[in-house]
Structure formats: structure tokens, C-alpha cells
């Protein structure tokens, strides 16, 4: 009987935690690039160009990639299979808004399944300077959202975004 009370207590605690745990996440970083906005946008709208600056491409240079569709257009899909650091998944362009942003959906299959909405946004600061914002957001479904009480998505991914944006800046300014 004591076992049943303990089990019921654990279940109730878990349900309470799933109610208070974060339901959504949004991680982003920004950087200023010393290039005109149209030039920056024309580069970031192509997913294949991420090979020049993506931190995950550097974490697994032997990653296997496949492409479906026309890069730089809605519907283009880039899929990857990599080591434990990059996992397995795909990115699909879901929106291209000229000289504003490129939106995509990230679908991760390994090491765990999840979906996120990603974007790269540009904003003109001057005729020769562009602010680039790179981010993604998603929903933590209950009861798995309890895990997010002990895992900080911003700390986990934010540094990679910073590194990627620094590499993007360096690549575009060379």
C-alpha cells in the first residue's frame, strides 16, 4: 500500500510540474554586418550557404546531406545525418520575404524528435550596415516539458547561434 501512495505522489508531482513547466521557447541572437542589406539577404536566403557559417557544419564536417527542391525558394528541404553533436533532421524553407527574412521549419529526428520554427531576419541600420537576427522557437508539449525545468534552451543553443553569426559576419565581410 505504501508503494501505491508513493507512486501516486510521484504521478501527482509530475502532473503539477508539467502544468508549471515552460510551454514555449524562443532563442535568438543578433549581430551587425558591414554589408548592405540586399547583399546580406541574397546570401542568407539560401540554405546551402549555411555550410559557410553554421556551427553545426563545423561540428561534423563529414555530415551527410541531401537536398530536395530549388534552394532559396519556399519548399526547399535540406536534410542531414551527422554525428552525436548534430544528430539527424531536416530544414524546410517555409517563407521568403525579400530583404526582410527567411523562415524555415526545423524537424529533428535524432537524438530526439522535435519541431521548431526558425528564421533569419535582416534589418537595415545604414546603407552599409545590416543587423542580422537568427532565431528559433517552438512548443514544449506536456508532459515532456517537465524536462525544460532542468534544461535551459537559451544556454544550450545560444552560444551556437553567437558562433554562427560571428562566422556569417566574417564570411560576408571578407
Q: How confident is the model at residue 149 (pLDDT cuts 50, 70, 90)?
A: low
Instruction: Report the 10 Å Cβ neighbour count for 129.
Output: 15
Q: How confident is the model at residue 41 (pLDDT cuts 50, 70, 90)?
A: very high
pLDDT at position 20, please?
65
* CA 85 distance to own-chain centroid: 14
pLDDT digits 0-9 by tens, 88-98: 999 999 999 99
Average pLDDT value for the chain: 89
Q: pTM for this structure?
A: 0.84
| pLDDT tops 70 at residue 148 | no
Phi, psi of 60 (to 5 degrees): -145, 85
Burial class from Cβ neighbours inside 10 Å (0-12, 13-18, 19+) for residue 113 reads exposed
List of domains in the chain: 2-173 (3.30.530.20)
| pLDDT tops 90 at residue 61 | no
* Pairwise CA distance, residues 170 & 163, whole Å: 11
Amino acid at each position: 500500500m505504501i508503494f501505491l501512495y508513493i507512486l501516486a505522489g510521484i504521478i501527482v508531482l509530475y502532473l503539477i510540474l508539467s502544468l508549471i513547466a515552460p510551454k514555449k521557447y524562443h532563442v535568438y541572437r543578433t549581430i551587425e554586418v558591414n554589408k548592405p542589406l540586399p547583399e546580406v539577404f541574397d546570401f542568407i536566403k539560401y540554405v546551402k550557404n549555411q555550410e559557410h557559417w553554421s556551427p553545426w557544419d563545423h561540428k561534423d564536417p563529414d555530415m551527410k546531406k541531401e537536398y530536395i527542391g530549388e534552394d532559396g525558394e519556399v519548399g526547399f528541404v535540406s536534410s542531414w545525418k551527422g554525428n552525436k553533436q548534430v544528430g539527424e533532421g531536416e530544414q524546410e524553407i517555409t517563407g521568403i520575404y525579400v530583404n526582410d527574412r527567411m523562415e524555415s521549419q526545423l524537424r529533428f529526428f535524432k537524438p530526439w524528435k522535435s519541431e521548431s520554427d526558425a528564421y533569419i531576419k535582416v534589418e537595415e541600420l545604414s546603407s552599409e550596415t545590416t543587423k542580422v537576427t537568427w532565431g528559433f522557437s517552438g512548443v514544449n508539449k506536456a508532459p515532456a516539458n517537465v524536462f525544460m525545468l532542468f534544461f535551459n534552451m537559451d544556454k544550450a543553443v545560444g552560444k551556437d547561434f553567437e558562433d554562427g553569426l560571428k562566422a556569417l559576419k566574417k564570411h560576408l565581410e571578407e
